[in-house]
Each structure stands twice: as C-alpha cells, then as structure tokens.
A and B are shown apart, each in its own frame.
Chain A
C-alpha cells in the first residue's frame, strides 16, 4: 500500500487525508482541487470504517501552482462543501514518526 512513498524522490509530496461520511463525489471533489492546481496524484488508498470513508492520497506538489497554505485552504473549503474533513500534510510528518 502506498508503495510510491518509498520509491519516489523525497521532499515534494503531500499526504491528503479525507475523513467523513461516505457519499457520491468525494474522490472527484478532491481530485478536482488537486488537478486545478497542477498537482499529480501518485496513489490513492481508501477504506470504509463503519459508515465513514477514510481516504488517503499521495500527491506530488513539485509542479503545484499554489503554496502549501493555499492548497490546505482550498482542500478545507472543498471539505466543508461536501461535508468531510480534508487535510494535507507533508509526507515527512508521517515518515519521521513511523520510520527510522
């Protein structure tokens, strides 16, 4: 799962997490925000816990047209629109915590 993380050169990827009730259009909504900012999706993984959707995306921001703050705001706004919580964090936050 998320094998891209160890194969790609480090430093320019974010992890987008989506948490909330499942419904039509969540992936499309997130993908649209990323695409419109020229951000490439490298991997998607999702699971349903109870009735909640948990989705994790790895995305490449090296050619992104917006900075991290703007991206986070755009994603959060999309999240409010479709009723889920969306956040983006730099991959190092995860790799550092779980790998030596």
Chain B
C-alpha cells in the first residue's frame, strides 16, 4: 500500500524538482510514400503524417492532466528522407522539408525529425542531394530537424561525409545568422546513431522500426540532484544506490506515460529513453548534479569520473524500471541547455577538450556548442572526426551539434531561447588538421579485440 511519504515524494518531484516527461515522440514509417512523381510523394507524406499523428498532441495533453505530470514536447520522427525521396525524379529535396514542416504545423508538434541520411559507408545519389539541401531546408523551415550518420563501429568513419558536414554546418550557420545560427541547433552529425531515439534534433524513424511507434524520453536532472544532496558525505556506494533508486522512479513515469499513450493512440509502444535531459531552468542541470556529487565546478578534474558514475547508475536504475529501454539513454551534456554547464564554461572550468573527454563516458557528444564564427570548415570537420572516433572505438553513440556563431568571437553569446537556451562562444584551437581532413576516404572499421 502507498504511504503518505511516497505520495508526497511524487508530488514534490513534479512541483519542486522539475520532473517531467521530456517528449512523446511518434515514429512514422514513410517508406510506402516513395513515388517517382515528387509531388505525389509529398502528398502521401503529408497525408500519412497528419493521419497518424492527428491526435498525438491531444492525447499527450490528456495524459498530462490525468497523471499530473508535464509532458513538455510532443514530436514526430520519420524515415530518413533520403530513403523516401530517393525514387522521386527531382533534385529538389527542400520541398520534402517544407512538406514535413507543414504536416508538423498541421498536427501541432514543435519538431519533426528525419530530414536525414545514413552515409557511414558511402553516399547514394539521394544522400548527396539531401545533405547538400540541408542548409536551405533548415533556413526555410521552422520545425524540421536534420541528422546525418557519418560513422559506425562496424563500418568505420566516412571522412568524405565528415568534411562535407563541416562545410554544411558552416553554410547552415551563414543562412540562419540572423537568428544566431539556429539552423545548426537543428542539425546533428552522428556516429552509431540509434534508430529509436525520441530526442530532437537527432530523432528519426529507423528502417528496422515498425509502421508506427511511440517512444518516450524522460527527464529529471532536478530530481536526481535533490536525491544526491540528501546523501552528502556518504560513500560512493550509497551515492550510486541513491541515484539508481531515483532513476528507477523517474523511468517508471516514462513507462506509464509511454504505455498509456501507445494504447490510446492504438500503436505499439517502442522504448523509454532514460537520458538525463537538462533544461535551462535553474536546478534542472546535469552540471549541478556533478557538483552535488562533490566536484567544485563542472569541467574540472574529477568531472569525467563523477559523470561516469552518474551515467552508469542512471542506466542501472532505468533499465530495471522499463521493459524496453532504448534511444540514447545516458546523461546529456548540451552546453547551451544547461545552466550549470554555461556557468562552468564562463568560469573557464569547462572547455571543449573536457567536454570531449566527458562524451566518452556518457551520451551523447559535443552538444549545442557555440564556437567563433571564423572557425573554418576543416576545423569543424576535425572536431566531428574526433568525436566520431570516440564513438566508433567505444561502440557508443556520439554526436556533434555545433554552432559557428557568425560574426561572434570568444566571450560573446548565441541566444536561442526556450529549451535550446543560450551558449557562450568557447575557443577552438588555433591549429588546423586541414591536410588530414582533405585526404578524403574512409577510416577503416576498428578491430574488436586487443581492446587497450
């Protein structure tokens, strides 16, 4: 039977500690929308998205009210558009982005993910056309998110794609410079991309996924931080146990919401993504959890170890709480979306180098990082290559979502507002790896034994 304390604990988590369900994301397969006539393909896409997701927002709001837990975002992910658009006789992929944008607006979701291509081994003609259209697509739509997978552990790193993405990111920043490069906040370069991730901007509906599916992303850094604070001074075992128990409870809410939403919408329930996803709200920060563990300022020595402990404990607790865990499932460290991270970067404790190290022990990667506007496409490509190497060798997902802040330098800020937050522009190194990046070709897939 429930005790008064348990009931109060749940109420407190929501009202005081920012517990929420970050997103309910409906994955929709668009594979049957391919058509040699591009306008027919677009019509099929629009019809299918609006038909399946028509009641997504309403259902989400109903569940939100009944259980008294906020569901911050309702979103849609679709089959990578490069695959869907491949058979259409057109060079103009931007119209597909516009169609997705219109469909998303029609059903009332704030983001639709899947303007994507998977090119870890090489490009098809459609992949190339889609990637070249990304800057224009992101500059002329509001809700469309894009991602490109450039590497996997099994295939290696497509360095041609890495270099290409360096250029595409620069162009996207340039085309959206009036809004501080917001296009780049909607563009992720992945390694080992998961096919069932509900979190934007990297969500798409993978080719092994069913016709339609509901995936849920939980949140709750604030709840974990409060729990960590209650065991101040206790040994690490107790700390890990506390985080595990808390992650369990958070994930249970995700499981409940996911199952209920799937049932009411009449589609299968996919996964709960047990990531700790911070928001710019004070107290809803992964950096502040690291600091509550006992690291003076996030980014200083000891941060990587504390983050590894946190990430692992969250996974252990979360895995027990849900029948299907998937997606990214780890702590996010998006610089602009985490008030504690921003503070640590301003204080000089958190640098690009340290962020890179942190990404080797948690999901996802260099996320929402603003760098000076004059950073070259080769340097951005080299940053992507480094991050891809960490993912490839460690058999994990890594990603780069980087914003070259056009016309800005170190110490300036980019401002996006809302969940995307604001980021200080942080320095990159003054030396270049241009010769390496310009070689082109593929980095071979790594050996899976001799693991040192």
Contacts and interface: CB of A to CB of B under 8 A. Distances in A.
A92 B253 CA distance: 9
Contacts of B447: none
B68 A89 contact: yes
B431 interface: no
B255 A56 contact: no
Interface residues of B, number: 22
B11 interface: yes
Contact of B1 (A3, A54, A96): A3
Contacts of B65: 68-69, 72
Contact of A2 (B4, B9, B11): B4
A47 B4 CA distance: 9
Interface string A69-100: 10010000000000001011110111111110
Contacts of B4: 1-2, 45, 47, 54, 56
A96 B6 contact: no
B255 A94 contact: no
A5 B2 CA distance: 7
B258 to A, nearest CB: 11
A66 B229 CA distance: 41
Interface of A is mostly: mixed
A17 B256 contact: no
Nearest to A92: B256
Contacts of A6: 1
A15 interface: yes
Contacts of A89: 10-11, 66-69
- Mostly helix, strand, loop or mixed at chain B's interface? helix
Interface of B: 1-4, 6-11, 15, 65-69, 249, 252-253, 255-256, 260
A6 B227 CA distance: 28
Given A2-B2, A2-B3, A2-B4, A97 B66 contact: no
A12 B303 CA distance: 47
A31 interface: no
Contacts of A33: none
A98 B1 contact: no
Nearest to B6: A98
15 contacts: A1-B1, A1-B4, A2-B1, A2-B2, A6-B1, A17-B8, A45-B4, A47-B4, A54-B4, A89-B66, A92-B256, A93-B256, A97-B249, A97-B253, A98-B9
B254 to A, nearest CB: 10
Contacts of A15: 7
Contacts of A69: 65
Contacts of B10: 89, 93-94, 97-98
A16 B256 CA distance: 19
A19 interface: yes
Given A19-B11, A98-B249, A93 B1 contact: no
Contacts of A72: 65, 68
Interface of A: 1-3, 5-6, 15, 17, 19, 45, 47, 54, 56, 68-69, 72, 85, 87-90, 92-99
B66 A1 contact: no
A60 B256 CA distance: 21
Contacts of B253: 93, 96-97
A45 B8 CA distance: 12
A96 B66 contact: no
A93 B253 CA distance: 7
B256 A94 contact: no
B8 A54 contact: yes
A97 B7 CA distance: 10
Nearest to A55: B4
A92 B11 contact: no
A85 B9 CA distance: 16
Contacts of A5: 1-2
A57 to B, nearest CB: 10
B75 to A, nearest CB: 22
A93 B3 contact: no
A1 B3 contact: yes
Contacts of A17: 7-8, 11
Given A2-B7, A90-B66, A93-B69, 18 more contacts: A1-B1, A1-B4, A2-B1, A2-B3, A15-B7, A56-B7, A56-B8, A69-B65, A87-B68, A89-B10, A89-B68, A92-B260, A93-B68, A95-B2, A97-B249, A97-B253, A98-B6, A98-B9
A69 B249 CA distance: 25
